Amino acid sequence: MAVIRRLPRYYQYLNRLQKKGIQKISSTELARMMGLTASQIRQDLNSFGAYGQQGYGYNVVDLRFEIQNLLGLSENYNCIIVGAGHLGHAVSHYERFAREGIYITAMFDVDTELVGKNVGHLPVYHVDDMGKYVKKHKVDIAILCVPADVAQGISNLLVGCGVKAILNFSAFDLNVPEDIFVENINIIDSMFTLTYRIGEKKRHIEEDLNESMFEEEEDVTTLF
Amino acid sequence: MAVIRRLPRYYQYLNRLQKKGIQKISSTELARMMGLTASQIRQDLNSFGAYGQQGYGYNVVDLRFEIQNLLGLSENYNCIIVGAGHLGHAVSHYERFAREGIYITAMFDVDTELVGKNVGHLPVYHVDDMGKYVKKHKVDIAILCVPADVAQGISNLLVGCGVKAILNFSAFDLNVPEDIFVENINIIDSMFTLTYRIGEKKRHIEEDLNESMFEEEEDVTTLF
């Protein structure tokens, strides 16, 4: 699983290398760029059948192509955004998706102010029409940008209509059948992880301070 | 580390329970809600010094309060958004942050069309003025919504001026000193994890199909 998590990162780095016109890369160089070890890189890539050449390294174009295939990006995907608020709007502007064959074709919302209009370049339809749309256009992936309290209901509807995967921004842990893939992006949780760490560091500093004060007191006692 | 990652989730669930007016919760009920086991829950909470009462469970208000403290959310944080594009705009609308004492007070960009204006309710200043602002307002956390190619430069500037933590949407692996905390949110990588899984499932189905065809062929051979 950890290897799979690293695959998109390999892909991003190889894209950058290819764009710069770099033709070959050693595991050592790639390791330095990515903050991994060279042996980790070789192990990861070997596990996917990509072997570097001794004294040459990896051919950037070939390796990039192999990882693109592995990531399923030689196929096209139909995609919708559910929730036409600010976040849905922001995600609709990720041009990178279309360049990789992931085509976002519509947004859905319940807000009658938005339904029938365009948000960015995408038409907004009513959630009531979502099921029909998903079936007709064989939607593979739904990007869920709805509030937590409606997320499960929307997810049930999407899964029932044949959606295969959900990119879930809703801060709700979706309950889906085993063969449906969910990736959670929880912005609030990530922020709280940062405040936890800042707080933890502060607690450590205070503890150290208390300890050193205690030590000083001891020293004073010893003196008398 | 895995426990720390679950802390924000505990907090979200306890918030919901408290909002519903539920006063106590057993580890079994909490486990069912969160898709964990009751013993996992008890172990997690014990490790933070929160013990349930036999036959009663946990007091929701108390446990929520303890986890809020642990997450550092009894303190206030000053926060800025760097990059006033669609994503920065979307994040600026997360009202939840202010409710938890995380105050986003300004946005920064290089786009002269945006600088001097408001995006949502936030003023947009030029990135050249960011260092001074960060020092003056003792900014704790920066939310990085800039393109990958400028992310490291901006990060260096932020760290140099005293920022303690970065919520990084930039799809670039930042190189920061050890005592600076970074949380990466990579929307593109999460999407590619989904396409990987859809592709993998398809490959398995094709393999199974090939195998079963092969088996049939064998059967035929055996028949003759």
User: What is the tens place of the pLDDT at every residue in B135-186?
Assistant: 999 999 999 999 999 999 999 999 999 999 999 999 899 999 999 999 999 9
Interchain contact, B191 vs A102, CB within 8 Å = yes
Q: Phi and psi dihedrals of A195, rounded to 5?
A: -65, -35
In one letter, which amino acid is B178?
A: E
Interchain contact, A89 vs B87, CB within 8 Å = no
Distance CA A101, CA B200 (A): 17
Measured between CB atoms, which of B86, B94, B175 is closest to A187?
Answer: B94
Q: What is the pLDDT, as a whole number, of residue A222?
A: 47
Distance CA B169, CA B124 (A): 18
* Closest chain A residue to B100, measured at CA: A192
Distance CA B199, CA B197 (A): 5
Interchain contact, B167 vs A194, CB within 8 Å = yes
Interchain contact, B185 vs A187, CB within 8 Å = yes
Looking at per-residue confidence, does A115 or A34 come out higher? A115
User: Is residue B203 very low, low, confident or very high in pLDDT (cuts 50, 70, 90)?
Assistant: confident
Distance CA A76, CA A36 (A): 31
Percentage of chain A lying above the pLDDT 90 cut: 77
Average pLDDT over residues A87-107: 95
Average pLDDT over residues B191-209: 90
Q: What is the mean pLDDT of chain B?
A: 91
Exposure on the CB side of residue A134, measured as CA atoms within 13 A: 27
Q: How far is A9 from chain B (nearest CA, A)?
A: 7
Cβ-based contacts of A206 with chain B (< 8 Å):
none
Q: What is the pLDDT, as a whole number, of residue B51?
A: 81
User: Is residue B85 very low, low, confident or very high in pLDDT (cuts 50, 70, 90)?
Assistant: very high
Q: How far is A136 from chain B (nearest CA, A)?
A: 19
Given a cut of 60, whether residue A84 has pLDDT beyond it is yes
Percentage of chain A lying above the pLDDT 70 cut: 95
Given a cut of 70, whether residue B92 has pLDDT beyond it is yes
Distance CA A145, CA A82 (A): 6
Measured between CB atoms, which of B183, B187, B198 is closest to A165?
Answer: B198
Cβ-based contacts of B93 with chain A (< 8 Å):
85-87
Interchain contact, B192 vs A8, CB within 8 Å = yes
* Closest chain A residue to B8, measured at CA: A189
Rounded to two decimals, the ipTM of the complex is: 0.90
Distance CA A89, CA A120 (A): 7
User: Is residue A148 very low, low, confident or very high in pLDDT (cuts 50, 70, 90)?
Assistant: very high
Instruction: Assess A90–B contact: CB distance below 8 Å, yes or no.
Output: yes
Q: What is the pLDDT, as a whole number, of residue A204?
A: 83
Q: Which two tokens mark B217? A: 């062929």
Given a cut of 80, whether residue A77 has pLDDT beyond it is yes
| Residue pair A49/A69 in contact by the 8 Å Cβ criterion | no
Q: What is the pLDDT of residues B22-79, one digit of tens each?
A: 999 999 999 998 889 999 999 999 988 888 888 889 999 999 999 999 999 999 999 9
Closest CA to A190 of B168, B66, B59: B168
Distance CA B203, CA A69 (A): 11
| A133-164: b (≥16 Cβ within 10 Å) or e | bbeeeebbbbbbbbeeebbeebbebbbebebb
**Residue numbers of A between 34 and 53 with CB closer than 8 Å to B:** 34-35
Helices (H) and strands (E) in chain B — how many of each? 9, 9
Interchain contact, A193 vs B90, CB within 8 Å = no
Q: What is the pLDDT, as a whole number, of residue A209?
A: 80
In one letter, which amino acid is A141?
A: I
In one letter, which amino acid is B104?
A: I
Beta-bridge partners for A78: A103
Closest CA to A114 of A125, A106, A105: A125
Q: What is the pLDDT, as a whole number, of residue A131?
A: 97
Q: What is the pLDDT, as a whole number, of residue A1?
A: 72
Q: Which two tokens mark A56? A: 């040459």
Closest CA to A96 of A164, A21, A8: A8
User: Is residue B212 very low, low, confident or very high in pLDDT (cuts 50, 70, 90)?
Assistant: confident
Q: How far is A49 from chain B (nearest CA, A)?
A: 15
Q: How far is B196 from chain A (nearest CA, A)?
A: 4
Q: Which two tokens mark B44? A: 């997690």
Given a cut of 70, whether residue B218 has pLDDT beyond it is no
Q: What is the pLDDT of residues A191-218, one digit of tens each?
A: 999 999 999 888 888 888 887 776 655 5
